[in-house]
Amino acid sequence: MPFSLDRLLVVGISSRALFDLEAEETIFRTQGLEAYRKHQIDNENEILKLGGGFALVRALLKLNALDPEQRLVEVVVMSRNSSETSLRIFNSIKHYDLDITRAVLSGGASLTPYLRAFNVSLFLSLHEDDVQAAIDSGTAAALLYQKPASAFEELDQIRIAFDGDAVIFSDESERIYQSQGIEAFENHERENALKPLPEGPFARLLKAISFIQHNFRQAGVQKPPIRTALVTARSSPAHERVIRTLRAWDIIIDETFFMGGVAKSDVLAAFKPHMFFDDQPAHCDRASSLVQTGRVPLRGEVTTLKDLPMP
Protein backbone atom coordinates (compact mmCIF):
# COMPACT_ATOMS: atom_id res chain seq x y z
CA MET A 1 0.00 0.00 0.00
CA PRO A 2 1.50 3.40 -0.97
CA PHE A 3 2.58 5.79 1.78
CA SER A 4 -0.01 8.56 2.25
CA LEU A 5 0.79 12.20 2.99
CA ASP A 6 -2.86 13.11 3.52
CA ARG A 7 -2.84 13.39 7.32
CA LEU A 8 0.64 14.87 7.69
CA LEU A 9 1.88 18.42 8.01
CA VAL A 10 4.00 18.57 4.85
CA VAL A 11 6.63 21.30 4.50
CA GLY A 12 8.19 21.87 1.10
CA ILE A 13 11.46 23.76 1.26
CA SER A 14 13.91 24.82 -1.40
CA SER A 15 17.50 23.66 -1.03
CA ARG A 16 18.60 27.29 -0.80
CA ALA A 17 16.19 27.91 2.09
CA LEU A 18 17.34 24.79 3.95
CA PHE A 19 21.06 25.40 3.39
CA ASP A 20 23.25 28.42 2.70
CA LEU A 21 23.76 28.33 -1.07
CA GLU A 22 24.34 32.02 -1.65
CA ALA A 23 27.84 31.53 -3.09
CA GLU A 24 26.49 28.86 -5.42
CA GLU A 25 23.61 31.13 -6.45
CA THR A 26 26.14 33.82 -7.36
CA ILE A 27 28.08 31.34 -9.49
CA PHE A 28 24.89 30.37 -11.32
CA ARG A 29 23.86 34.00 -11.88
CA THR A 30 27.26 35.28 -13.00
CA GLN A 31 28.91 32.28 -14.66
CA GLY A 32 26.02 30.14 -15.84
CA LEU A 33 24.65 26.66 -15.42
CA GLU A 34 27.76 24.73 -16.47
CA ALA A 35 29.96 26.52 -13.93
CA TYR A 36 27.35 25.92 -11.24
CA ARG A 37 27.11 22.23 -12.18
CA LYS A 38 30.90 21.79 -12.03
CA HIS A 39 31.15 23.58 -8.68
CA GLN A 40 28.48 21.41 -7.06
CA ILE A 41 29.97 18.16 -8.34
CA ASP A 42 33.51 19.17 -7.37
CA ASN A 43 32.31 20.09 -3.86
CA GLU A 44 29.65 17.45 -3.29
CA ASN A 45 31.43 16.11 -0.18
CA GLU A 46 31.73 19.60 1.35
CA ILE A 47 28.91 20.02 3.87
CA LEU A 48 26.71 23.07 3.37
CA LYS A 49 26.13 25.64 6.11
CA LEU A 50 22.65 26.16 7.53
CA GLY A 51 20.04 28.24 5.74
CA GLY A 52 17.17 30.39 6.95
CA GLY A 53 14.60 27.59 7.09
CA PHE A 54 16.83 25.03 8.79
CA ALA A 55 15.85 25.75 12.42
CA LEU A 56 12.12 25.46 11.76
CA VAL A 57 12.54 22.26 9.74
CA ARG A 58 14.74 20.63 12.38
CA ALA A 59 12.30 21.60 15.13
CA LEU A 60 9.26 20.29 13.24
CA LEU A 61 10.93 16.99 12.44
CA LYS A 62 11.51 16.43 16.16
CA LEU A 63 7.73 16.03 16.53
CA ASN A 64 8.02 12.63 14.86
CA ALA A 65 10.17 11.35 17.71
CA LEU A 66 7.51 12.16 20.30
CA ASP A 67 5.17 9.40 19.15
CA PRO A 68 6.77 6.43 17.35
CA GLU A 69 3.28 5.19 16.46
CA GLN A 70 2.28 8.29 14.51
CA ARG A 71 4.31 10.38 12.10
CA LEU A 72 3.17 14.02 12.17
CA VAL A 73 5.51 15.93 9.85
CA GLU A 74 7.03 15.29 6.45
CA VAL A 75 9.62 17.56 4.84
CA VAL A 76 10.18 17.51 1.10
CA VAL A 77 13.17 19.27 -0.47
CA MET A 78 11.86 21.04 -3.57
CA SER A 79 14.63 22.25 -5.84
CA ARG A 80 15.18 23.32 -9.44
CA ASN A 81 18.42 21.35 -9.30
CA SER A 82 18.75 18.23 -11.40
CA SER A 83 19.62 14.94 -9.75
CA GLU A 84 23.13 15.32 -11.18
CA THR A 85 23.89 18.32 -8.94
CA SER A 86 21.89 17.24 -5.89
CA LEU A 87 24.31 14.90 -4.07
CA ARG A 88 25.77 17.74 -2.05
CA ILE A 89 22.30 18.54 -0.72
CA PHE A 90 21.63 14.92 0.25
CA ASN A 91 25.08 14.59 1.84
CA SER A 92 24.36 17.68 3.95
CA ILE A 93 20.94 16.32 4.98
CA LYS A 94 22.65 13.12 6.15
CA HIS A 95 25.39 15.06 7.97
CA TYR A 96 22.85 17.03 10.02
CA ASP A 97 20.81 13.87 10.68
CA LEU A 98 17.61 15.31 9.22
CA ASP A 99 14.81 12.82 8.69
CA ILE A 100 14.20 13.90 5.08
CA THR A 101 13.81 11.19 2.45
CA ARG A 102 11.70 12.84 -0.23
CA ALA A 103 12.72 15.39 -2.84
CA VAL A 104 11.52 17.07 -6.01
CA LEU A 105 14.39 17.87 -8.40
CA SER A 106 12.75 19.63 -11.32
CA GLY A 107 15.79 20.41 -13.47
CA GLY A 108 14.86 24.07 -13.86
CA ALA A 109 11.11 23.53 -14.39
CA SER A 110 8.45 25.15 -12.21
CA LEU A 111 7.90 23.52 -8.82
CA THR A 112 4.26 24.61 -8.54
CA PRO A 113 2.60 21.50 -10.04
CA TYR A 114 4.31 19.31 -7.45
CA LEU A 115 3.03 21.23 -4.40
CA ARG A 116 -0.38 19.63 -4.64
CA ALA A 117 1.11 16.28 -5.70
CA PHE A 118 2.97 16.12 -2.36
CA ASN A 119 0.10 17.69 -0.37
CA VAL A 120 2.37 20.55 0.72
CA SER A 121 0.94 22.64 3.59
CA LEU A 122 3.77 25.19 3.63
CA PHE A 123 6.38 26.11 1.04
CA LEU A 124 9.52 28.08 1.96
CA SER A 125 11.95 29.51 -0.58
CA LEU A 126 14.33 32.37 -1.31
CA HIS A 127 13.05 32.65 -4.89
CA GLU A 128 10.24 35.15 -5.22
CA ASP A 129 8.74 33.75 -8.41
CA ASP A 130 8.38 30.26 -6.88
CA VAL A 131 6.76 31.69 -3.73
CA GLN A 132 4.37 33.84 -5.75
CA ALA A 133 3.37 30.88 -7.92
CA ALA A 134 2.75 28.80 -4.80
CA ILE A 135 0.52 31.48 -3.25
CA ASP A 136 -1.37 31.87 -6.53
CA SER A 137 -1.97 28.10 -6.59
CA GLY A 138 -3.51 28.19 -3.10
CA THR A 139 -0.52 26.92 -1.06
CA ALA A 140 0.78 28.77 2.00
CA ALA A 141 4.21 30.07 1.03
CA ALA A 142 6.75 32.60 2.20
CA LEU A 143 9.86 34.29 0.86
CA LEU A 144 12.56 33.86 3.51
CA TYR A 145 14.82 36.65 4.61
CA GLN A 146 18.45 35.98 5.44
CA LYS A 147 18.78 34.37 8.83
CA PRO A 148 19.43 36.55 11.91
CA ALA A 149 22.21 35.73 14.37
CA SER A 150 19.74 34.06 16.78
CA ALA A 151 18.21 31.76 14.14
CA PHE A 152 19.61 28.51 15.55
CA GLU A 153 19.04 29.08 19.26
CA GLU A 154 17.66 25.86 20.77
CA LEU A 155 14.18 26.29 22.26
CA ASP A 156 12.07 23.80 24.18
CA GLN A 157 9.06 24.44 21.93
CA ILE A 158 8.39 25.06 18.26
CA ARG A 159 7.26 28.67 18.10
CA ILE A 160 5.53 30.18 15.07
CA ALA A 161 4.16 33.73 14.85
CA PHE A 162 1.67 34.97 12.29
CA ASP A 163 0.38 38.32 11.14
CA GLY A 164 -3.40 38.41 10.71
CA ASP A 165 -4.76 40.17 7.64
CA ALA A 166 -3.49 38.79 4.30
CA VAL A 167 -1.78 35.90 6.15
CA ILE A 168 -4.17 33.96 8.41
CA PHE A 169 -7.16 35.95 7.15
CA SER A 170 -7.84 37.26 3.65
CA ASP A 171 -6.70 40.73 2.62
CA GLU A 172 -10.31 41.93 2.27
CA SER A 173 -10.20 44.21 5.32
CA GLU A 174 -6.65 45.35 4.68
CA ARG A 175 -7.66 46.53 1.21
CA ILE A 176 -10.31 48.75 2.80
CA TYR A 177 -7.70 50.22 5.15
CA GLN A 178 -5.25 50.83 2.31
CA SER A 179 -7.80 52.43 -0.02
CA GLN A 180 -10.14 54.23 2.39
CA GLY A 181 -8.20 54.77 5.62
CA ILE A 182 -8.40 53.75 9.26
CA GLU A 183 -11.87 55.14 9.96
CA ALA A 184 -13.49 53.20 7.10
CA PHE A 185 -11.59 50.07 8.18
CA GLU A 186 -12.78 50.34 11.79
CA ASN A 187 -16.37 51.01 10.72
CA HIS A 188 -16.27 47.98 8.41
CA GLU A 189 -14.91 45.71 11.15
CA ARG A 190 -17.40 47.00 13.70
CA GLU A 191 -20.31 46.40 11.33
CA ASN A 192 -19.04 42.89 10.48
CA ALA A 193 -17.87 41.88 13.98
CA LEU A 194 -20.15 38.83 14.03
CA LYS A 195 -19.17 37.71 10.53
CA PRO A 196 -16.07 35.45 10.42
CA LEU A 197 -13.21 36.77 8.32
CA PRO A 198 -12.54 34.88 5.08
CA GLU A 199 -9.60 32.50 5.15
CA GLY A 200 -6.19 33.73 4.08
CA PRO A 201 -3.33 31.71 2.57
CA PHE A 202 -2.10 30.45 5.98
CA ALA A 203 -5.49 29.47 7.45
CA ARG A 204 -5.10 25.83 6.40
CA LEU A 205 -1.60 25.66 7.92
CA LEU A 206 -2.81 27.19 11.19
CA LYS A 207 -5.66 24.68 11.34
CA ALA A 208 -3.21 21.79 10.81
CA ILE A 209 -0.98 23.09 13.61
CA SER A 210 -4.01 23.56 15.86
CA PHE A 211 -5.05 19.95 15.20
CA ILE A 212 -1.60 18.71 16.28
CA GLN A 213 -1.75 20.89 19.41
CA HIS A 214 -5.22 19.56 20.23
CA ASN A 215 -4.06 15.95 19.95
CA PHE A 216 -1.22 16.59 22.41
CA ARG A 217 -3.62 18.28 24.84
CA GLN A 218 -6.06 15.39 24.51
CA ALA A 219 -3.21 13.03 25.37
CA GLY A 220 -2.66 14.96 28.60
CA VAL A 221 0.49 16.83 27.54
CA GLN A 222 0.51 19.95 29.70
CA LYS A 223 2.93 21.83 27.49
CA PRO A 224 2.30 21.02 23.80
CA PRO A 225 5.49 21.12 21.71
CA ILE A 226 4.12 23.81 19.38
CA ARG A 227 3.23 27.34 20.50
CA THR A 228 1.60 29.92 18.23
CA ALA A 229 1.24 33.68 18.35
CA LEU A 230 -0.86 36.17 16.42
CA VAL A 231 0.93 39.52 16.13
CA THR A 232 -1.39 41.93 14.36
CA ALA A 233 -1.48 45.68 13.81
CA ARG A 234 -5.19 45.59 14.68
CA SER A 235 -6.56 47.08 17.91
CA SER A 236 -9.97 47.82 19.39
CA PRO A 237 -12.61 47.89 17.90
CA ALA A 238 -11.16 45.64 15.15
CA HIS A 239 -10.12 42.97 17.66
CA GLU A 240 -13.58 41.45 18.12
CA ARG A 241 -13.90 40.05 14.61
CA VAL A 242 -10.53 38.32 14.91
CA ILE A 243 -11.47 36.67 18.20
CA ARG A 244 -14.84 35.54 16.88
CA THR A 245 -13.29 34.22 13.66
CA LEU A 246 -10.77 32.03 15.50
CA ARG A 247 -13.58 30.81 17.75
CA ALA A 248 -15.67 29.92 14.68
CA TRP A 249 -12.69 27.99 13.27
CA ASP A 250 -12.26 26.21 16.65
CA ILE A 251 -8.67 27.43 16.87
CA ILE A 252 -6.88 28.53 20.03
CA ILE A 253 -3.92 30.87 19.49
CA ASP A 254 -1.56 30.59 22.45
CA GLU A 255 -0.53 34.25 22.51
CA THR A 256 -2.24 37.19 20.80
CA PHE A 257 -0.92 40.72 20.44
CA PHE A 258 -3.12 43.54 19.16
CA MET A 259 -0.38 46.06 18.45
CA GLY A 260 -2.48 49.04 17.31
CA GLY A 261 0.25 50.25 15.00
CA VAL A 262 3.14 49.79 17.46
CA ALA A 263 6.18 48.11 15.88
CA LYS A 264 6.09 44.33 16.23
CA SER A 265 9.84 43.82 16.62
CA ASP A 266 10.15 43.92 20.41
CA VAL A 267 7.22 41.53 20.93
CA LEU A 268 8.68 39.12 18.38
CA ALA A 269 12.11 39.27 20.02
CA ALA A 270 10.47 38.34 23.33
CA PHE A 271 8.36 35.50 21.82
CA LYS A 272 11.39 34.09 19.93
CA PRO A 273 9.61 32.34 17.05
CA HIS A 274 11.36 29.88 14.78
CA MET A 275 9.50 31.74 12.03
CA PHE A 276 7.38 34.90 11.71
CA PHE A 277 5.07 35.31 8.72
CA ASP A 278 3.87 38.75 7.59
CA ASP A 279 2.76 40.27 4.30
CA GLN A 280 4.08 43.80 4.81
CA PRO A 281 7.67 44.39 3.60
CA ALA A 282 8.21 47.12 6.22
CA HIS A 283 7.20 44.80 9.07
CA CYS A 284 9.37 42.01 7.65
CA ASP A 285 12.39 44.28 7.23
CA ARG A 286 12.24 45.38 10.87
CA ALA A 287 11.64 41.88 12.22
CA SER A 288 14.18 40.04 10.09
CA SER A 289 17.23 41.24 12.03
CA LEU A 290 15.75 39.76 15.23
CA VAL A 291 13.83 36.63 14.22
CA GLN A 292 13.64 34.41 11.16
CA THR A 293 11.08 36.03 8.90
CA GLY A 294 9.08 35.01 5.85
CA ARG A 295 7.18 37.48 3.67
CA VAL A 296 3.84 36.31 2.32
CA PRO A 297 3.04 37.91 -1.06
CA LEU A 298 -0.50 38.84 -1.94
CA ARG A 299 -2.25 36.52 -4.32
CA GLY A 300 -1.76 37.73 -7.88
CA GLU A 301 0.86 40.27 -6.76
CA VAL A 302 2.86 41.54 -9.72
CA THR A 303 6.54 40.65 -9.50
CA THR A 304 9.48 41.06 -11.82
CA LEU A 305 10.35 37.61 -13.08
CA LYS A 306 14.05 36.87 -13.20
CA ASP A 307 15.86 34.07 -15.01
CA LEU A 308 14.61 30.81 -13.59
CA PRO A 309 16.90 29.81 -10.69
CA MET A 310 18.43 26.38 -10.34
CA PRO A 311 19.20 25.95 -6.59
Per residue in 140-151, pLDDT (tens digit) is 999 999 887 766
pTM of the predicted protein model: 0.91
Cβ-in-10-Å burial (0-12, 13-18, 19+) of 272 comes to middle
Is 303 contained in some domain? Answer: no
- Assess whether the previous peptide bond of 198 is cis (omega < 30° from 0): no
Q: Are residues 171 and 80 in the same domain?
A: no
What is the arithmetic mean of pLDDT over 170-177?
A: 91
Q: Are residues 163 and 133 in the same domain?
A: no
Assess contact for 267 and 231: CB atoms under 8 A.
yes
Is 300 contained in some domain? Answer: no
CA 308 to chain centre: 21
Strand partners, 142: 124
SS (H, E, C) 167-194: CCECCHHHHHHHHHCHHHHHHHHHHCCC
Cβ count within 10 A of residue 246? 21
pLDDT score recorded for residue 281: 94
Q: Are residues 171 and 287 in the same domain?
A: yes
pLDDT score recorded for residue 11: 97
- Res 175 pLDDT > 60: yes
Per residue in 181-220, pLDDT (tens digit) is 888 998 999 999 999 999 999 999 999 999 999 888 888 8
Q: Are residues 162 and 254 in the same domain?
A: yes
Cβ-in-10-Å burial (0-12, 13-18, 19+) of 201 comes to buried
Q: Which of 84, 114, 144 is the last residue of a domain?
A: 144
What is the arithmetic mean of pLDDT over 71-98?
A: 94
Is 263 contained in some domain? Answer: yes
Q: Are residues 267 and 176 in the same domain?
A: yes
pLDDT score recorded for residue 64: 92
Assess contact for 158 and 225: CB atoms under 8 A.
yes
Q: Are residues 214 and 251 in the same domain?
A: yes
Reported as a pLDDT band with limits 50, 70 and 90, residue 304 is very low
What is the arithmetic mean of pLDDT over 244-260?
A: 95
Is 22 contained in some domain? Answer: yes
What is the arithmetic mean of pLDDT over 230-244?
A: 94
Q: Which percentage of the chain shows pLDDT scores above 70?
A: 93
Q: How far apart are CA 184 and CA 253, in angstroms?
A: 27
Per residue in 258-274, pLDDT (tens digit) is 999 899 999 999 999 99
What is the arithmetic mean of pLDDT over 3-9?
A: 74
Q: Which of 144, 179, 209 is the last residue of a domain?
A: 144
pLDDT score recorded for residue 192: 93
What is the arithmetic mean of pLDDT over 108-130?
A: 95
Residue 153 main-chain phi, psi, to 5 deg: -65, 130
Count of structural domains, the chain: 2
Q: Which of 91, 120, 144 is the last residue of a domain?
A: 144
Q: Are residues 261 and 174 in the same domain?
A: yes
Marked catalytic residue, from 20, 163, 278, 279: 163
Is 150 contained in some domain? Answer: no
What is the arithmetic mean of pLDDT over 26-44?
A: 93
pLDDT score recorded for residue 223: 84
Q: How far apart are CA 146 and CA 235, in angstroms?
A: 30
Is 301 contained in some domain? Answer: no
Reported as a pLDDT band with limits 50, 70 and 90, residue 156 is confident
Q: Are residues 189 and 279 in the same domain?
A: yes
Domain of residue 93, CATH code: 3.40.50.1000
Please confirm, yes or no, whether 6 is among the known catalytic residues: no
- Res 307 pLDDT > 90: no
Choose among 17, 97, 19: nearest CA to 65: 97
- Res 1 pLDDT > 60: no
Dihedral sign for Cα 189, 195, 198, 203, please. Answer: positive
Is 296 contained in some domain? Answer: no
What is the arithmetic mean of pLDDT over 39-46?
A: 95
Q: Are residues 115 and 199 in the same domain?
A: no
Q: Are residues 235 and 276 in the same domain?
A: yes
Q: Are residues 183 and 64 in the same domain?
A: no
Contacts 24+ apart (CB under 8 A), 284-287: 284/145
- Res 305 pLDDT > 60: no
Domain range for residue 210? 158-291
pLDDT score recorded for residue 43: 95
Is 308 contained in some domain? Answer: no
Q: Are residues 41 and 63 in the same domain?
A: yes
Q: How far apart are CA 108 and CA 44, in angstroms?
A: 19
- Res 303 pLDDT > 50: no
> What is the average pLDDT score of the chain?
90
What is the arithmetic mean of pLDDT over 278-301?
A: 92
